[in-house]
Amino acid sequence: MTNGIMEVVSYAVYDLKYISAPDISYNPALGTGQLQIRDIHYVTIVQRTAWEFLQMLDAKFIKSQGEEVWVTMARKNEWIKEEA
């Protein structure tokens, strides 16, 4: 095991909600709930609400895994309300 000192020389902070749809991808190989950003240093910013961001994420998941998988997960996690 190596112990060392690391110096941070620069950083950037982004609100994920504002990163454009083409810059964010859902990669199932990374595991459930993991997003991949194409190149964090060159992202396009898009003004959107949190609701619009969630809709975009749902659309990416459905395109990758299918609507049936999304509905199963939504029911399991009680994201949608269904009348009995």
Whole-angstrom Cα distance, residue 65 to residue 5? 42
Query: CB of 19 within 8 A of CB of 45?
Result: yes
Q: What is the pLDDT of residue 25?
A: 86
Residue 82 in any domain: the answer is no
Domain annotation covers residue 7 = no
Give the total number of structural domains in the chain: 1
Angle at 44 between CA 64 and CA 9, to 5 degrees: 110
Structural contact between residues 16 and 53, judged by C-beta atoms closer than 8 angstroms:
yes
pLDDT of residue 9: 92
pLDDT of the residue at 11: 86
Question: What is the pLDDT, as a whole number, of residue 47?
Answer: 95
% pLDDT > 90, the chain: 37
Residue 5 lies in a domain: no
Mean pLDDT of 32-58: 89
The answer as to whether 60 is a domain residue is yes
- Partners of residue 26 on adjacent β-strands: 35
- Predicted confidence at residue 83, as pLDDT, reads 78
Q: Is residue 11 part of a domain?
A: no
